[in-house]
Structure formats: structure tokens, C-alpha cells
Amino acid sequence: MSLVVQKYGGSSVADAASVLRVARRIASYRAAGHEVVVVVSAMGDTTDDLIDLAKQITPTPPGRELDMLLTAGERIAMALLAMAINDTGHEARSFTGSQAGVITDASHGKARIIDVTPGRIRGALDDGAVAIVAGFQGVSQTTKDVTTLGRGGSDTTAVALAAALNADVCEIYTDVDGVFTADPRLVTKASRIPLISHEEMLEMAAAGAKVLHLRSVEYARRYGVPLHVRSSFSDKPGTLIVEGGGRAFPISPTEMFVTPTEEEAMEQPIISGVAHDASQAKITVVGIPDVPGKAAATFQIVAEAGANIDMIVQNVSTEITGRTDISFTLPAADGAAVRQALEAAQQELGFQRLVYTDQIGKLSLVGAGMRSHPGVSARLFEALSEAGINIEMISTSEIRISVVTDLAALDRAVVAVHTAFGLDSADGEAIVYGGTGR
Ligand code: ADP
Ligand code: ASP
Ligand code: MG
């Protein structure tokens, strides 16, 4: 008998028929004798719809109230799913994040989990029930208010519970058959990745592959939780995220464990995949004095505005003016706040003007093999140049190269780079079963 944590994303529970389908899958795990904890997201595009609704009331909803509103989406899904499971003859009990013991800090909209005390979940399992937990929410230790973990955060709820309950595996059910070499919504020839390391998955998630919430991968690595990404619409094998590979994984209630083949475990492709991110913006601080302390002061202001920046490029200053330009990328959602803060500090920083655009796209090539294989960047730049795509910024890590392009060219760039690195698959595996891609 295993303890399995399963997470079902919004597209897997988009309507009543989907909720019933998911309930049957959960019931089959129970029938096979496993303990099951389920984390569920809000149905379909409910979270986006609730945000739209709030924005019709006010452009700046208070974080506390927005979190209260958004967590309602997961409550609807969890109660309906519990009802559906009860109808299969297995007991199910639903819990909010707070009831499930998900304790967070107090930062609304992007709260961090600081502790998980799943006493009530353990109790439900001990009584033979399936425990259903509302995803992406918790309660602040200090304010006792309800918080959310940020968009896509249900993955992190699932991994955190799996760690706290010492689960055998955490299964992430979504609307594609696992992690692919690129977003299947964009690249129809994307290939399924059977096994991927935490390190590479972290880079993919950070670079915009939203199939897994970045923090869920961090959590899985820190606590050694085996992650299995798969589709709730098929019984295909999915993607295993583990260190070293070779471990046995539950795959279905009937055929409980699958061990990656020797070939899958051994194979170390140079490139794991191509990720893209269309949600970034770019700010250029033009004509800032090229003296010590200016970059520090600039980024101190950016940090105080709450933005996580990514790429930074500083030009060589011109000798005559002694001034330089600094460009950086940040989430477009933080664009307005950062712009305002920098403009307010124009006198102090002494720059000439700010240029802002959200019409940029970021493409990232990820692969642990880059460390030991020269020529990867040259091939990337050549692929982009052959496709006639201009590169605006470049940044690298040990196992990632990212470029910024014009937003309008991003999709084309991803397809071209995917082909250039030989990642195209011939067998049409990249099926998108549901969801609107919102
Ligand atoms: P869920 O509602 O199940 O949480 P998400 O929309 O958050 O689903 O994540 C699944 C989506 O992630 C897929 O439909 C796909 O469009 C997108 N995606 C982006 N990059 C990748 C990738 N490399 N592999 C698989 N899916 C990806
Ligand atoms: N419902 C939330 C969202 O849409 C959380 C999640 O789905 O993971 O972002
Ligand atoms: Mg998601």
C-alpha cells in the first residue's frame, strides 16, 4: 500500500463531467488499497474569471480581499469532487488550505509556505477516507488571514503535503501527457521527456514552462519528493522528475510501479527543452551616470517595488558623457509599480529617461549537457538568424541560455530553435487534451 498525493489542475476538472471522470480515477486508486490525498485547483478558468470580476469592481483590489475571493474557486472544486467520490462508494472529505494545515507567511498573492501541519488530513486517511485539499491557499501564521501562493500554486500545495505526509509519490495531473521539450500548445512536434532532473526542471519552470509551479520543483528537490507529471485524460506514462532516475514509480492502480528503462535512465540529451515566456517586460534606464553605487541604488528601488528581475544588461559608457544605459527584464505585472518608483527617483539616480515595453518575449534553451558541450550558443544564434529573428538581450546560466526577442516573433523563434536542436518528434505525442492555455 502506498500513500499517493494527486493534484488535478483546473482543466482536469473544468466541468461536471470532468469532475466525475477524475473521481473515478481517484476511486480506482482507493479500490487498489492506496491512501489518497487529492489537491484540486479551481474549475477551468475560474481563477481568471474571478480576477476579471474583481477588476470590474476596482483596478486595485486589496490583497487580503482578492485572496479571499480567489480561494473560493478551489472550495467549489473540492466540495464537488468530494461529492463525486462519495458517490463511487468511497468516503471523501474536503478541506480548505487552512484546515489542511498549510501555514504561510502574510504576503497576499505570493505567500510562501512556512509549515505544513496535516493532522486533519492524516486523521481522514486513518479513517479510510480520501482527503481532498483546496490548492494554492493557506493561512498566515501572523495575521491569521487566508493567503494564496500565486498563480499555478496548487502544484506547490501538493508537493508540500506530499513532503509533510512522507508520501511515496506526488502525481501532477494536467492536460498534456507530461513535460515536453517545448509547450505542446505551441510546438506540435514537441517530444515527451520521460525523465528529467530537478535541476533542469527548475530552469524550465523558471524560464516559463508553466506545466509545474517553480516552487513545487524547489520543494520536491529539497524534500526528495518523487514527482510524476501526467495527463488526467490518458493513461500514458508521463514524466518522472527525480535525481538519478532508476527508481520505481506508481503509474496506475492496476499496474502499480514502473521503473524507467535503462535507456531512459542513462540517456543524457544535451538539450532538455525550449521554454518561452510572453509575460515579461523590459525597462531601460537611459543615460545614468557611470559611477559606483548607481546600479545598487537603481535595483534597490526595483526590489522595494517588489519585482523579481531577471536579465540585466549594462552598456559600456561613452567616454564623453560618462553615462550609460541599463536594461533589465521583469514580470509585466510589476511593470507599472517599478516604473513609478524609478520615475519618482529620477533626481536622485540622475538618469535621463526611462524606456518601457511589454512587447518582448523570452526564449530559453535548457540542458545540463551544455556544461560540457561547446557551441550551443552559436547554434542557437544561428537558428534565430536563419529565421530572421533579432536578439535584443542575452543571458546565461550554467545550463540555460535565454534571449529576448520581439513578442511578435516569439512563437516562430521557439519552433525554429526546437527544430534546429533536433528536438522534433515524429510520432505526434504532443496532444493537448483540454484547457484554454489562459
Ligand atoms: P493545470 O491547469 O493542470 O495546472 P497548466 O496550464 O498550469 O495546467 O499547465 C499545463 C500547461 O503547461 C500545458 O497545457 C502546456 O500548454 C503548458 N506548458 C508549457 N510548457 C510546457 C512543457 N515544456 N511541457 C508541457 N506543458 C507545457
Ligand atoms: N487556480 C489557481 C490558478 O489558476 C491555482 C492553480 O491552478 O494552481 O492559478
Ligand atoms: Mg498549473
Looking at the fold, whether 227 and 306 belong to one and the same domain comes out as no
Residue nearest to atom 9 of ligand 1 (CA): 211
Residue-range definition of the domain harbouring residue 341: 272-422
Determine the distance separating the centroid of ligand 1 and the alpha carbon of 174, expressed in angstroms: 7
Determine the distance separating the centroid of ligand 2 and the alpha carbon of 180, expressed in angstroms: 20
Average confidence (pLDDT) over 300-315: 90
Looking at the fold, whether 296 and 171 belong to one and the same domain comes out as no
In a mutational test of the pocket of ligand 2, which residue from 41, 74, 210 has the highest number of ligand atoms less than 8 Å from its CB?
Answer: 41
Domain boundary among 239, 267, 295: 267
* 60 domain-assigned: yes
Find the CATH number of the domain harbouring 277. Answer: 3.30.2130.10
| Ligand 2 pocket member 152 (CB < 6 A) | yes
Determine the distance separating the centroid of ligand 2 and the alpha carbon of 44, expressed in angstroms: 9
Number of domains in the chain: 2
For residue 255, is pLDDT > 60?
Answer: no
* 427 domain-assigned: no
Q: What's the pTM? A: 0.92
Domain boundary among 231, 248, 267: 267
What is the spatial distance between Cα 350 and Cα 294, in angstroms, rounded to a whole number?
9
Residue 180 in contact with residue 425, Cβ under 8 Å? no
| Ligand 1 pocket member 210 (CB < 6 A) | yes
pLDDT of residue 263: 62
Closest by CA to 139, choosing from 171, 167, 111, is 111
Looking at the fold, whether 147 and 54 belong to one and the same domain comes out as yes
Match 486513518 to its residue by C-alpha cell.
126
Question: At a CB cut-off of 8 Å and minimum separation 6, what does 56 contact?
Answer: none
* 353 domain-assigned: yes
Looking at the fold, whether 349 and 263 belong to one and the same domain comes out as no
Looking at the fold, whether 63 and 22 belong to one and the same domain comes out as yes
* 389 domain-assigned: yes
Looking at the fold, whether 250 and 285 belong to one and the same domain comes out as no
For residue 292, is pLDDT > 80?
Answer: yes
Looking at the fold, whether 257 and 282 belong to one and the same domain comes out as no
Average confidence (pLDDT) over 394-407: 94
pLDDT of residue 254: 41
* 434 domain-assigned: no
| Ligand 1 pocket member 229 (CB < 6 A) | no
pLDDT digits (tens, 9 = 90+) for 177-189: 999 999 999 999 9
Looking at the fold, whether 239 and 280 belong to one and the same domain comes out as no
Q: Given the CA of residue 74, which atom of ligand 2 is nearest to it? A: 1
| Ligand 2 pocket member 40 (CB < 6 A) | no
For residue 249, is pLDDT > 70?
Answer: no
* 437 domain-assigned: no
Residue 304 has which C-alpha cell?
522595494
pLDDT of residue 306: 85
pLDDT of residue 253: 45
Domain boundary among 233, 267, 301: 267
Residue nearest to atom 22 of ligand 1 (CA): 183
Looking at the fold, whether 289 and 386 belong to one and the same domain comes out as yes
pLDDT of residue 270: 87
Find the CATH number of the domain harbouring 160. Answer: 3.40.1160.10
For residue 378, is pLDDT > 50?
Answer: yes
For residue 269, is pLDDT > 60?
Answer: yes
* Cα of 340 vs its chain's centroid, Å: 28
Average confidence (pLDDT) over 306-311: 88
